[in-house]
Structure 1
């Protein structure tokens, strides 16, 4: 058993460091013993677009916090109350920390667990939501393991597809959740705001669901080229034209059945305003792009943002064009994804090769733990990559 634990830690905006920390214990953040928990050796731990909110200073976290909420690992220590997991099992860790016992967890609403964070009904690893250490590390502690962890049925089969299965912890279920909340189904026309890794997962999920016209909007030409090469229509949001006009040029009508915001508070405007951050822009964009009677998903991270220009937006209050949307009888759903509502089914879709567009859409790059700080800086430039940290050199080339 190792005695220390090297991890990626946050020190200040744009200052990530790899440092040695104590080896994790079967213990909750409040010090209470956690016999229901396990210790994992991390096999894959990804850098997420949400991590960039922290990296840029948009989402405040404590100095020294261990980063990482997209985690896949091997069980190496099992608490005495754990019955259904064994040492050596390979598991996916949903980013929602959930007890499995409260009213919301019992309804599979693990995004709003009532017990794992005393400050708000939401717990998460490496995100200042309950003081749970993240998994961009060699080892991590996971509580309520029997409930939370998704065990892969065949370890060798899983390792052969680990680059795809590594996104079951967050961005693939998050992408799928946005489409579900937007009512996407066979034949739907879909607009996806953002061609980052979550938006690209959404494009792959839309293909899985049988959507017809899948349109992805972004300012980054390299990201747009990647999704275009994988069968999507694209809109360059840096062009000075109304989004609905650009949708009409593709679709023949200005609005879609389902529109989803995968961007969040760091969205930018259209055309000449594209250089200026407008935290409410993506929300208003997708509401406007949704047809009357359609549905809109708001999956990008929103909350108090110290980088926003106005005091109201810094406090988490955003100007939403609800008055214009009301007449369309809108259905708008927002919030984090309940990962456990989708991850098993998506795992099976990957294992049975039903998502052939996922891997080329993701465009993964595997890196070492020591390369993580540099990867954060590179990812922040908008490159069309998904960085997967391999702390122990276990991922096949």
Structure 2
């Protein structure tokens, strides 16, 4: 039987490459696997040879020690690959298909899946609705920052690319379909972005950049991106965004007014999440900062898209309330302004086919927007360190050296 190598969380601040088991069509016991999922048969699944798999900011939360992720957890929920084995119950996906894997695992059979809420499938995580590969408290499905990975419910979930050669030419764009592009797009759609909108995007990390590019695709008149990191703001500016450096200018409303002539935008997107920092030179961690600031600068009747990650357990939080996800939100302000809030995991399958067509037609340039950077599997530990230092790159792991 072939071997397998994977990126494994070791301890806070440390990941390493380890030899691990070659996957089969059953969920076996291992780090992070929910006991009620152990032994789960997946004849509805496939084995993929991983072509690309990306490092995500959500992975970084675990690697920083900001979750209860166990040592030995195989990381990675952004997966693109070639089908090399199909289960007995797979009818339509075939060996040799080149596919994108939605990061949220969904059965296709429960009420939520049938209503297109594949982000909160009822049948894949015994603890609560919703699941993902290689992530803490998500049922224990093995991650895909590896050479090979098992993907369940293949007929329902997998997005097949129409032409493999064409897909390989655009692989640095298409690899973003598993999470980051749909997540940014979901944030923009949830915020109500439409032609002529003025939009504020909090955070110039990869998700923020994807949200900004998505807002442009949806016809926004002006997209303003705010961050504390000058390098990431320069990346946002490179594809036509206005920017606000919140380390240098603590008052967000004033900066928006300088750009638009008014201190408010039509809609806002939170792409930071629970590790948010305050604004200004002496900033420190203040997890409610982004949510409160986007309520302040979004017009009455506006919408807030919140794809940024918030958790129910954060052992490294700044206070006891934040450790269980309780934040000091000015909800009264949002109520007074009749804001609409949309939160939660992105239902990737709601968007990924349309976004694939936007990429294949040349309409979407997501790899350029997020500065996609190809690395080998061996380079992943160093890439995690660079990402943690705030480098403006979206790292794409190429485990088999297949990407030109």
TM-score (normalizing by structure 1) = 0.97
Alignment partner, residue 42 of structure 2: 34
In the alignment, structure 1 residue 207 sits paired with structure 2 residue 206: no
Residue 98 (structure 1) shift: 0.5
Instruction: Please give the secondary structure, in 2, of the residue aligned with 1:111.
Output: helix
Aligned residues: 393
Alignment partner, residue 3 of structure 2: 4
Alignment partner, residue 180 of structure 2: 171
Residue 32 (structure 1) shift: 2.4
In the alignment, structure 1 residue 289 sits paired with structure 2 residue 297: yes
**Which residue of 81, 100, 104 corresponds with 2:89?**
81
Instruction: Please give the secondary structure, in 2, of the residue aligned with 1:76.
Output: strand
Cα deviation, 1:5-50, whole Å, max 9, x if unaligned, reads: 1000111111101001111010134212211000000000000011
**Which residue of 268, 277, 284 corresponds with 1:259?**
268
Alignment partner, residue 365 of structure 1: 373
Alignment partner, residue 31 of structure 2: none
Measured in 2, the distance between the counterparts of 1:134 and 1:359 equals 22
Instruction: Please give the secondary structure, in 2, of the residue aligned with 1:248.
Output: helix
Cα deviation, 1:167-225, whole Å, max 9, x if unaligned, reads: 10001000000111100011110000000111111111111111001000001101111
Cα deviation, 1:57-102, whole Å, max 9, x if unaligned, reads: 1122111010000000100000011011111110000000100000
Matches within 5 A, 1:310-349: 310-349=319-358
In the alignment, structure 1 residue 271 sits paired with structure 2 residue 283: no
Measured in 2, the distance between the counterparts of 1:305 and 1:273 equals 23
**Which residue of 199, 202, 207 corresponds with 1:193?**
202
Measured in 1, the distance between the counterparts of 2:238 and 2:20 equals 43
**Which residue of 145, 163, 170 corresponds with 1:154?**
163
Measured in 2, the distance between the counterparts of 1:259 and 1:111 equals 22
In the alignment, structure 1 residue 124 sits paired with structure 2 residue 123: no
Instruction: Please give the secondary structure, in 2, of the residue aligned with 1:271.
Output: coil
Measured in 2, the distance between the counterparts of 1:93 and 1:338 equals 12
Q: Give structure 1 stretches of 5+ with no counterpart.
A: none
Cα deviation, 1:106-141, whole Å, max 9, x if unaligned, reads: 111110000100001011001120100110000000
In the alignment, structure 1 residue 115 sits paired with structure 2 residue 114: no
Alignment partner, residue 34 of structure 2: none
Alignment partner, residue 45 of structure 1: 53
Q: Return structure 1 stretches of 4+ with deviation > 2 angstroms.
A: none
Residue 103 (structure 1) shift: 0.3
Measured in 2, the distance between the counterparts of 1:240 and 1:78 equals 54
CA contact (8 A) 2:124 2:139 kept: yes
Q: Give structure 2 stretches of 5+ with no counterpart.
A: 28-36
Q: Output the aligned Cα RMSD.
A: 1.0
**Which residue of 355, 368, 381 corresponds with 2:364?**
355
